[in-house]
Structure formats: C-alpha cells, structure tokens
Amino acid sequence: MSEARRVRARSGGVSSTGTAIVTPSTGAGGRRGTAVAAPHAAEVHPPDPELPRLITRDRARRAGMTEGQVDRRIASGEWEVVRRGWFRLAGGAVDPGRPSGADPGQAASALMAAARALPGRELVASHLSAAQVWGLSPPLDGWPEPTFTARSGATRYRGGRTVFVAPLPDEHVCSRPVLGITTAARTVADCLRVLPGHDGLAMLDQALRLGLTTLEQVEAVVRFQAGWQGVRTARGLLGLADHRRESALESWSAWGFDQVGVPPPAWQVNLFDAAGAFLGRVDGWWPCGVVGEADGRMKYRLEAARRGGATPEVLAGILDDERERESRIRAAGADVQRWGAVDILDRRRREALGTRLRSALDLATRHPRFTGLATPT
C-alpha cells in the first residue's frame, strides 16, 4: 500500500457519521483547502511554516507541524509522495538546480543574531550555516537551524540552535563583515561528513565550480579530521568530485551511479559528427557511444530565461530544439539515455536505472555504432 493510501486509511478523511471532512488549511505554497460541511465544526489549522522544496516528516516536525497536520496534507493530496517519507507540494517539481534564493548577507545577519543569543564563548558559523553564507545551494531538506562551532565547552542544543565543539585551527576560520565563519574548505568538509551523500557531493561540486575552494584544500581538511564522525563518507565523496558538473542533479547522478555500480561518464562533452559538424553538448558521455542526459527542469528554465522568458511559445521551441538535437545525436550512432531526480533519489528506481544503463553500455560496447567525435569542454 502506498504511503498516501496508508495515511488516508489511518486518518480516515471522514467524520464519525461518514461525512467527508476537509478542514481549511493553508499549504506550503499558500493554497487553501475547501471546507466541506460536517456534523461538527471544522478545526481551523494555522498556516504551514516555511518548508523546503522536498519535505520530510522529520523536517515538518522540526518546523512545528504535528503528525496530524502532515497526515492531512498527504491524505488530501496537498502533498504528493515522492518516496517513502519524502513529499512535495502537489504539482510542484523537484528542482535540483534551483539556487537557494537566500542572500548571503541576510543569512550572515541572522546568524549573528542567533550567536548573540548564545553568549559566553566565541562561536564560528559552520556546517550548513556557513554554506549558506558562502552562497551555496541548500540540500534537499532545506537549511537547518543556525549551527556554530566552538573550540571549548560542551555541545549544546538550545532554542533550535546547535553548537558543536571541535578543534578549529585559525586557518580554518575566516572573517566576514558581520560574523566569523569557517573557510569554504572547512565548510565543505564538515558538510561532507554530516549530509546524505547526494547532498554532500552536490555541495562539493558547486564549491569547486564556483572557485570557492580547491579539491586539494578540502582533502587537507578531511585529513585533519581523521577519526571524526563521518570522515570515511567524506573521503569517498572526494573521489567522486568533478567541477564540470553544472547542476545538483548531475552531482546526485554521479553519487547514484557509484551506489549501483555504473561506471562514471565524462561530464559536459561536445559531440561532432563524422564531417565535423557540431551535434550538441551532452551532460554525460560514455566512450562506448552512450549519452546520458540528467533531465532536471532547471536546465529548461535557464534556457527559457536566455530566450526571454518561460512563455508557452518559448518552452515549445526549447522542446522542439531538444528533440532535433537528440535526433542528430542518434543519427551519428550514439544511444541516448535520460533520467530525472526521482530515478536517482528513490532506491528502487535508482537500481532500475542502473540496470538500464549497464545494459545500454554493454550493448554499445559489443556493437559500437557512434561514428563521430567526442571532446571534453
């Protein structure tokens, strides 16, 4: 039974007399449910707190929602089930390339205010709080409550604020206009240790792509953290890093391929036909002749922005161009494999994608057909 059906069965969605009840509620996107007459007065629920693009039960609870509120959102269809325990606003998209939208200066000011509420020792913004100040994109679960690191004292959790205690050499700290934060290298290393693998790799790739740090600098911090919790995970992710990946979905894909034993492709590769005509730039390329396309919506939104806006005419033109591009690539003998965010984030779909890709790679290796040329960007 799906999670949505389990929730509906548990919550019932009906009154004791069998009359359907939908209480007025404001969802994460501001939409309101319709009140249906019931024998008893409908309970009015407060507006949902601000939530990330993908919602988990734990994240909703930490934001102040009750289990009943979560169940009602699912049972009414207001939240769609992406995978067990993960939801999104109905009609919304998992948009892995979307920037955080948070201004780093505003984030730093908010952290400064949070630090003033924790007097008594020097605090440095760290982990995801520092990542927010550095302008990196949020993980799937959104930004957490303020997080700091101190050199002494006890680890504390108070009022939604977390203070870790850990060695913090001067070279791991830099000053910003309103608050000291960990360096980009220390920030990324800390996030690699505590985040889920797909989120950690996306943050590492983005930091490298933006030039905030180098792989060598992050590796040095991880060596310093030898023996710390999560450092083994961090080392594994360092081996997957690639600054050429242009979106979180591409980074998630690299992590997912490693999980299911698919060899890594080369990322961002230009393809030409036998006559030297440019066919297109592809997300991923396996030299046996297989193209990989990570189809996140952000790719098409960015292209629409370049063409003047996401009007129906512009979007139709983008899709037509994409179909023509794929036809040219296939005409040169390459196979084209596509996947989306859910194919990576859902374990069963990730395993199915791995089976499909390994089959395509095996076939292309045994029967090579690509007659063109591939060059990295």
73 & 129 share domain? no
Of the three residues 58, 89, 120, the one that is the final residue of a domain is 89
The rounded distance, in Å, linking the Cα atoms of 327 and 329 is: 5
Number of domains in the chain: 3
Rounded distance between C-alpha atoms, residue 70 and residue 55, angstroms:
10
Same domain, 195 and 124: yes
Report the range of poorest mean pLDDT among 161-175, 312-326, 328-342: 312-326
Give every strand in the sheet of 373-376, ordered side by side: 335-339, 290-294, 278-286, 266-272, 373-376
**pLDDT number for residue 67:** 82
Q: Give the model's pLDDT for residue 89.
A: 64
Give residues with Cβ within 8 angstroms of 145, minimum separation 6: 62, 160, 161, 162
Q: Indicate whether 120 pLDDT > 90.
A: no
> Taking all residues of the chain, what is their mean pLDDT, rounded to a whole number?
79
Q: What angle do CA 344, 373, 239 make, to 5 degrees?
A: 40
Determine the structural domain holding residue 206 and report its residue range: 104-238
Q: Which amino acid would we find at residue 206?
A: Q
- Is residue 128 exposed (0-12), middle (13-18) or buried (19+ Cβ within 10 Å)? buried
Whether residues 297 and 226 fall in one domain: no
- C-beta separation of 272 from 370 below 8 A: no
The answer to whether the CB of 262 falls within 8 A of the CB of 286 is no
Contacts of 159 (CB under 8 A, 6+ apart): 117
Q: Does 170 reside within a domain?
A: yes
For residue range 44-66, list pLDDT tens digits in order: 445 566 565 556 777 677 677 88
